[in-house]
Amino acid sequence: MLNDIERILISEEELDAKTSELASEISEDFKGEELIVIGILKGGVVFAADIIKKISIPMEIEFMAVSSYGKESETSGVVTLKKDIDTSIAGKNVIVVEDIVDSGYTMKYLTKLLLDRHAKSVKICTLLSKPSRRKVEIDLDYVGFEVPDEFVVGYGLDFDEKYRNLPFVGVLKREVYSK
């Protein structure tokens, strides 16, 4: 598995420091408010698990699954809801926790869906952002790291469902995803 990694982009230590930083920002911003964190399966799960442990205010956790990617490393632009929550979010503050915002289609779709259900507010917390790849404009409220236009894996992010368990974020060797 490590042989397929070109280089480490974000180390375990950097991830740990960043999740602490974002969690304390969130804890401060939502003090005295009702908060639901929605982790996006599967990529956002590792990040969501780390961040919620560091949030110091009462909150609930839910999960949703969406897909915009097939097996290829390029987005189709068509987003489908694969797993929904079964609780009402009406009047509540929602933070969507995602692994990476690339074209922006996925987060655009989800934000609209959650606002249509009358959430009080919908914020996006993403570990990574690839601004150079954006196709639709989208406001990101909490961003871990901006990354260059390279295919990255680890810490929840996959290629063909693998590498999610790597404890760091690394650049995948081109030969792995272009074969």
Q: Which amino acids are annotated catalytic?
A: 102
Measured from the CB atom, is 92 or 153 closer to ligand IMP? 153
156 binds Mg ion (CB under 5 A): no
State the residue number with the nearest CB to Mg ion: 43
Q: Can you tell me the distance from the alpha carbon of 131 to that of 134, in angstroms, rounded to the nearest whole number?
A: 5
The rounded distance, in Å, linking the Cα atoms of 142 and 87 is 24
DSSP 133: G
Nearest to 169 by CA among 25, 28, 39, 43: 43
Q: Which of 5, 9, 39, 43 binds Mg ion (CB under 5 A)?
A: 43
In the block, tokens 């990354």 appear at: 147
Q: How far is the CB of 34 from Mg ion (least distance, A)?
A: 26
Residue among 30 and 106 whose Cβ is closer to ligand IMP: 106
| Contact partner at residue 68 from Mg ion, ligand IMP, none, CB < 5 to 8 Å by partner kind | ligand IMP
Sequence-distant (6+) residues with CB within 8 A of 54 are 19, 20, 23, 24
Q: What are the CA-CA distances from residue 73 to residues 7, 10, 53, 79, 161 (Å)? A: 19, 20, 31, 15, 12
152 interface partner picked from Mg ion, ligand IMP, none, CB below 5 to 8 A per type: ligand IMP
Nearer to ligand IMP, 50 or 102 (CB): 102
Which residues make up the interface to ligand IMP (CB under 6 A)? 43, 68-69, 75, 98-106, 151-153, 157
Closest C-alpha to 101, from 49, 154, 138, 64: 138
From the CB of 23, what's the least distance to ligand IMP, in Å? 20
Cβ nearer to Mg ion, comparing 159 with 168: 159
Chain positions contacting Mg ion, by CB under 5 A: 43
